[in-house]
Amino acid sequence: MENIVEDLVALRLDPGTVRDTDPFHGLVVAAEGVTNMEAARLREATEILEAIAPSALAPEYRTTREAVLSWARGDLVSAREMLASGLRDSGGEHALLTGFLAHMADFSLGDNEGLLETGLALVELRSTMARRAAGLSDGLFAFALEECGHYAAAISSAERAMSINHDDVYALHAKVHVLQRLREFEAAKESISRYSNGWGETEPMRIHMWWHFAIGLLGEGELDEALRCYQLEVRRKTRAGAREDLDAVALLWRLEMLGGPELSEMLVPHWLTLAEAWAAYAADPNYIFNDLHAAMAFAKAEDHRRFDRIVTSCRARESSEFFHSVCRPLFDGIAAFAQRDYATSAREMSFALERQQLGIGGSKVQQKIFHWTRDAADAHLRGSNPRDLLSSHTHARTNGVMDNDSEDHRPHGRAGSGAARLSGVGIADS
C-alpha cells in the first residue's frame, strides 16, 4: 500500500518515491509545494496541477486539486474554505491529506480558531485512518491546541502522537511550543535533545528545532550560548528556501534586542550574510510573514533599496486595509528599530499590535518577535535594559487558559465553536 500522503504529513516525502506519470503523485507534490509559501514553489505547483486533468483523479481528490490550485494561484482564503468543506465528508487517506492542507492554510493565515476546527475534524475521523495516519492527525491537533492555549490537552495529544510514531517531529514541535510558552525552557531543551532520531542533516525541521533550542537558551539568559547555537546549527542550511533563513533572522533579531552594543557589533557580519541570502527572494516576495523577516535583515544591513522593494511589492499584493493597518506599521517599526528611533518603532508596532488577530501567519512563539520589538523600544525609551523582557513575557500556567496574546483571536462568526467541541473528543482540559 502506498503511504505517500502519510510521508507528506510526516514531512518525510521522498522525491524518489514519486512517479512523474501518476496524477495522484503530482497532486501530492503540488500540495507539498504550496505549503512552503514561496513564490517559486507556488508557480511549480500551478504548472503541475494545470497538467493534471480532473478526470485523471478519483472523484474525492478533484476538489482537493481545485483547492490546491487556488492556493497556488494566490487565493489562500478560498482554498482553505474548499479544504474545510471537503474534510467534513472525508475519510481515510483523503481526510489526512485534506486535513493537513487545511491545517497548513490555517497556519499561514494566522487563523487559530481555524486550526482548532480543522484539528477537531481530523481527530473525529481517526477511526477511518490507518494507525500511522491517525497518529499524525494527533500531532496536527496538538499544535492547534497549543496555539489556542489548551496546554494540557496539547501535551496529551502530542505524546499520544509520538507513542504511535516515535519520529513524529511535528508532534514533538507542538510539545516544545507548549513548554516554551509556559517558560519551561529546560524541559523544552531536554525534549529536543532526547528526540529519538537525533538531528541529522536530513531530519525534517532540523533548523527550526535548533531555533527552538536557542529560544530556550535566550529564556535562560544564555545569550552567548544562543549565538553559538546560531553559528553552529541554525545557519547550517541543508536546503534552499526562505524557511531556514527566516529562523536565522528571528534568532539574530532577538539577540540584537537583548544584547548590548558589544554584541550588536559582533552581529554585523551575520546580518550582512543574512541580507545577501534573502536577496534571492527579495525580487519575488509572496508571503507577508517571510517579507517581514526579510525586511529585518535588509534593515540591519542598511540595504534600503531591497527593503523598499519588499514594502512596495507587499502594498501591491495585499488589500489596502491590511497593508495600512498591519503590514506598513510593522515594516516602519522594524526600520525605525534598526535605526534606533525607538519612539517611532514603539508607536508603529503598537498600532499594528492593537489588532486582536494580526493575520500574518506564523506561530504565537514566532509572532512574539513583534511584541518583543515594541517592548524593547519602550525599554530603551525608559532607559531600562531590554533584557528585562525575559521576566516580563510570562504566560499563564493554568491548563486551558489562553495567554494575553492568543486570547480571542477568532474570525467573526466562529467564536467558541472549537472550544465547545473539545469535550466531545475526550481531550478537554481539566
Rounded to a whole number of angstroms, the distance between the first and last alpha carbons of the chain is: 40
394 pLDDT exceeds 80?
no
Average pLDDT of the chain is 89
Compute the distance between CA of residue 4 and CA of residue 23 in angstroms, rounded to an integer: 13
| Percent of the chain whose pLDDT exceeds 90 | 77
Compute the distance between CA of residue 213 and CA of residue 342 in angstroms, rounded to an integer: 29
Kindly state the cell numbers that stand for 291. Answer: 517579507
Give the type of residue at 98.
T
Q: Is residue 422 part of a domain?
A: no
How confident is the model over 69-115, as pLDDT tens digits?
A: 999 999 999 999 999 999 988 999 999 999 999 999 999 999 999 99
Q: Is residue 227 part of a domain?
A: no
Give the model's confidence band at 406: pLDDT under 50 very low, under 70 low, under 90 confident, else very high.
very low
| Rg of the chain, C-alpha, whole Å | 21
Q: Is residue 53 part of a domain?
A: yes
Compute the distance between CA of residue 427 and CA of residue 311 in angstroms, rounded to an integer: 43
pLDDT value, residue 387:
79
Q: Is residue 330 part of a domain?
A: yes
412 pLDDT exceeds 90?
no
Of the candidates 108, 126, 144, which is a domain's last residue?
A: 126
Q: Is residue 418 part of a domain?
A: no
Q: Which domain holds residue 24?
A: 1-126
Compute the distance between CA of residue 314 and CA of residue 316 in angstroms, rounded to an integer: 5
Give the model's confidence band at 427: pLDDT under 50 very low, under 70 low, under 90 confident, else very high.
low
pLDDT value, residue 237:
83
pLDDT value, residue 256:
93
Q: Is residue 406 part of a domain?
A: no
Name 192's Cβ contacts closer than 8 Å, sequence gap at least 6: 172, 176, 209, 212, 213, 216
Give the type of residue at 95.
A
pLDDT value, residue 182:
94
Give the model's confidence band at 414: pLDDT under 50 very low, under 70 low, under 90 confident, else very high.
very low
Average pLDDT over every residue of 371-375? 94
Of the candidates 91, 126, 161, which is a domain's last residue?
A: 126
Q: Of 119-128, 134-143, 336-345, 418-427, where does mean pLDDT reach its minimum?
A: 418-427
400 pLDDT exceeds 80?
no
342 pLDDT exceeds 70?
yes
Compute the distance between CA of residue 386 and CA of residue 203 in angstroms, rounded to an integer: 35
Backbone angles phi, psi at 270, to 5 degrees: -65, -40
How confident is the model over 345-368, as pLDDT tens digits?
A: 999 999 999 887 788 999 999 999
pLDDT value, residue 389:
65
pLDDT value, residue 385:
82
Give the model's confidence band at 413: pLDDT under 50 very low, under 70 low, under 90 confident, else very high.
very low
pLDDT value, residue 238:
75
Of the candidates 126, 157, 183, which is a domain's last residue?
A: 126
Q: Is residue 24 part of a domain?
A: yes
CB under 8 Å, gap of 24 or more: what pairs does 279-282 form? Answer: 279/303, 279/306, 281/38, 281/39, 281/242, 281/245, 282/306, 282/309, 282/310
- Name the more confident of 410 and 171: 171
53 pLDDT exceeds 70?
yes
Compute the distance between CA of residue 173 and CA of residue 191 in angstroms, rounded to an integer: 9
Centroid of chain to Cα 25: 25
Kindly state the cell numbers that stand for 325. Answer: 493597518
Q: Is residue 153 part of a domain?
A: no
Average pLDDT over every residue of 264-268? 94
pLDDT value, residue 420:
47
Number of other residues whose CB lies within 10 A of the CB of residue 37 = 23
SS3 of the chain? CCCHHHHHHCCCCCHHHCCCCCHHHHHHHHHHHHCCCCHHHHHHHHHHHHCCCHHHCCHHHHHHHHHHHHHHCCCHHHHHHHHHHHHHCCCHHHHHHHHHHHHHHHHHHCCHHHHHHHHHHHHCCHHHCCHHHHHHHHHHHHHHHHHCCCHHHHHHHHHHHHHHCCCCHHHHHHHHHHHHHCCCHHHHHHHHHCCCCCCCCCCCCHHHHHHHHHHHHHHCCCHHHHHHHHHHHHCCCCCCCHHHHHHHHHHHHHHHHHCCHHHHHHHHHHHHHHHHHHHHHHCCCCCHHHHHHHHHHHHHCCCHHHHHHHHHHHHHHCCHHHHHHHHHHHHHHHHHHHCCCHHHHHHHHHHHHCCCCCCCCCCHHHHHHHHHHHHHHHHHHHCCCHHHHHHHCCCCCCCCCCCCCCCCCCCCCCCCHHHHHHHHHCCCCC
pTM of the model: 0.91
If one counts the domains in the chain, the total is 2
418 pLDDT exceeds 70?
no
359, 326 contact by CB (below 8 A): yes
